[in-house]
Amino acid sequence: LTAAAASSVRTPLPVLGRDVTVPLVTGGEVTYAALDYAASAPALQRVWDDVAAYAPYYGSVHRGAGYLSQLSTDLFEKARTTVAEFLDCRDGDQVVFTRSTTDSLNLLAAALPAGCQVFVFETEHHASLLPWRNADVTYLDAPRTPEQAVATLERALAEREQGPALVCVTGASNVTGELWPVRELSAAAHAHGARIVLDAAQLAPHHPVSVRELDVDWVAFSGHKLYAPFGTGVLAGRADWLRAAEPYLAGGGASRKVARRADGGVDVEWHDSAARHEAGSPNVIGAHAVASACKALAEEGFDRLVARERYLIRKVREGLAEVPEVRVLSLFGDDAPRVGVISFVVEGWNSSHLAAALSAEYGIGVRDGLFCAHPLVRTLLGSEPQIQGECGAPEAAPGEKSLNAIRVSFGAGTPDEHVERFVGAVK
Ligand code: PMP
């Protein structure tokens, strides 16, 4: 640890909802322990304050002549620059504001050049797994080590036909929290003439993401997992495929010139900039909030954030290790580096019942189910999992395999007490 990181290990960043109390079935109430950051992290207090400070001044973006419109337009475009800096983008890269990671990856899927082959591991979150279904997609088997991931990709790319290709890979798993070998995978992709898009939904809130260093062609992430409110995502990276594609949304703002043709049709000239894919009135507050979160994390410094998170991970892992029935889910092995996302099962118990009890009896919010990564959870549990969200899942008998899992996840703003309460409750 650096000196700064060591001194910050016990200092959570202020987030919203720290003082929210919830009732317990056992009587009384308790402050809510939000341990579902991987789904949506609480917004940073500072992000909320930044949005509130701007709120009285907001006006239409790009099309208004008034002072507040100019202010909003300026803020929206500055947000792009802030995000580009946060991601360490290359000159000429575009930052497109979308609704979410899911939206960003669907945008890229809609912008694939003709005949593009796509390669994706079956272990991906559904947002990275499913948008390519209309393309020529190869699903790669779950690797059991990072080296195997690289070798599997190398083999698949070596066998591919000529033509454009895209690899889609997640930086940190939303199920195991494990880090994927992004740099090595991007080197493999590029060595075989393929492009690569990084799903950084779980990576960006926990680790610095440098487009340059990781040498990825695009990055996608969601504001609501990066301590900003819901509704805004980002797709950042190479301009060429985006510029050559039909607009993701057709409408005002994406078009430079529209005119009736002599034959009665309509001719459109589309913008070449990010606006090409952002038709309609843009979400300036959302973009401002994401930019504010990027600034806050950069100023806090990822060495401090990572140090604090490692400390919390250790606390949870050591606590869970004291319960013999607990099995932590892992693809790459117990010692694999990971972010603050930990899924586990308690042998002989139904995970949904345990998650409900954590909420009702301890005021702890975790997630149970299959985490929108059905093939991965199936591999990790070694059984056919229960469909997510289904009530009354049959209880696994002692010794039987669990049918779904519990996920605990945390990050900036998580106090020690939340993870201590969680570990105590599981025990
Ligand atoms: N990728 C990963 C790895 C995720 O964890 C998630 C959200 N759980 C997504 C993509 C999708 O993010 P969003 O729901 O914000 O589109």
* Residue of the CA atom closest to atom 6 of ligand 1: 201
Ligand 1 site, residue 232, Cβ cutoff 6 A: no
> Do β-strands 33-34 and 136-140 pair in parallel, antiparallel, or remain unpaired?
unpaired
Residue 421 identity (one-letter amino acid): R
Report the candidate in 77, 104, 80 with the shortest Cα–Cα distance to residue 242: 104
| pLDDT digits 0-9 by tens, 237-264 | 999 999 999 999 999 999 999 999 999 9
Average pLDDT, integer, range 204-229 = 98
Regarding whether 52 and 24 lie in a shared domain, the answer is no
Ligand 1 site, residue 350, Cβ cutoff 6 A: no
Average pLDDT, integer, range 407-418 = 96
Report the candidate in 84, 55, 94, 85 with the shortest Cα–Cα distance to residue 72: 55
Torsion of the alpha carbons at 257, 260, 261 and 264, rounded to the nearest 10: 150
Average pLDDT, integer, range 145-151 = 97
Regarding whether 325 and 263 lie in a shared domain, the answer is no
Rounded distance between C-alpha atoms, residue 188 and residue 114, angstroms? 22
Regarding whether 94 and 228 lie in a shared domain, the answer is yes
Residue 285, H or E segment: helix 284-300
Distance 228 CA to ligand 1 centre (A): 14
Whole-number pLDDT of residue 56? 87
Q: Is the pLDDT of residue 394 over 60?
A: no
Q: Is the pLDDT of residue 108 over 50?
A: yes
Average pLDDT, integer, range 303-307 = 93
Total residue length of the chain: 427
Whole-number pLDDT of residue 383? 64
Q: Among the three residues 282, 299, 316, which one is the final residue of a domain in this structure?
A: 299
Strand-pairing partners, residue 268, are: 258
Whole-number pLDDT of residue 399? 54
Ligand 1 site, residue 202, Cβ cutoff 6 A: yes
Domain that holds residue 363: 3-42+301-426
Whole-number pLDDT of residue 360? 97
Q: Which among 125, 170, 226, 339 is the best mutation to test ligand 1's pocket, defined by most ligand atoms within 8 Å of the CB? A: 125
Give the total number of structural domains in the chain: 2
Atom of ligand 1 nearest to the CA of 222: 15
Annotation marks residue 89 as catalytic: no
Rounded distance between C-alpha atoms, residue 186 and residue 149, angstroms? 12
Regarding whether 362 and 279 lie in a shared domain, the answer is no
- What is the pTM assigned to this prediction? 0.94
* Residue of the CA atom closest to atom 5 of ligand 1: 174
* Residue of the CA atom closest to atom 12 of ligand 1: 101
The ipTM value here is: 0.99
Catalytic residue among 89, 168, 372, 391: 372
Whole-number pLDDT of residue 10? 65
The domain spanning residue 371 has which CATH number?
3.90.1150.10
Q: Among the three residues 299, 319, 351, which one is the final residue of a domain in this structure?
A: 299
Average pLDDT, integer, range 215-235 = 98
Regarding whether 160 and 34 lie in a shared domain, the answer is no
Q: What are phi and psi of 220, to 5 degrees?
A: -125, 140
Q: Which among 99, 130, 222 is the best mutation to test ligand 1's pocket, defined by most ligand atoms within 8 Å of the CB? A: 222
Rounded distance between C-alpha atoms, residue 237 and residue 220, angstroms? 9
Burial 76-100 (b: 16+ CB within 10 A, else e): beebbebbbebbebeeebbbbbbbb
| pLDDT digits 0-9 by tens, 369-383 | 889 998 999 889 886
Average model confidence (pLDDT) for the chain?
92
Distance 224 CA to ligand 1 centre (A): 10
Q: What are phi and psi of 308, to 5 degrees?
A: -65, -40
Atom of ligand 1 nearest to the CA of 104: 16
Contact in structure between 207 and 306 (CB atoms under 8 Å): yes
Regarding whether 190 and 77 lie in a shared domain, the answer is yes
Whole-number pLDDT of residue 109? 98
Distance 322 CA to ligand 1 centre (A): 31
Residue 328 pLDDT grade (very low, low, confident, very high; cuts 50, 70, 90): very high
Distance 202 CA to ligand 1 centre (A): 7
Q: Is the pLDDT of residue 60 over 90?
A: no
Regarding whether 324 and 282 lie in a shared domain, the answer is no
Q: Which among 97, 98, 102 is the best mutation to test ligand 1's pocket, defined by most ligand atoms within 8 Å of the CB? A: 102
| pLDDT digits 0-9 by tens, 21-37 | 999 999 999 999 999 99
Distance 201 CA to ligand 1 centre (A): 5
Regarding whether 281 and 355 lie in a shared domain, the answer is no
- Range with lowest mean pLDDT among 84-98, 173-187, 343-357: 343-357
Average pLDDT, integer, range 316-342 = 96
Whole-number pLDDT of residue 61? 86
Whole-number pLDDT of residue 166? 98
Residue 398 pLDDT grade (very low, low, confident, very high; cuts 50, 70, 90): low
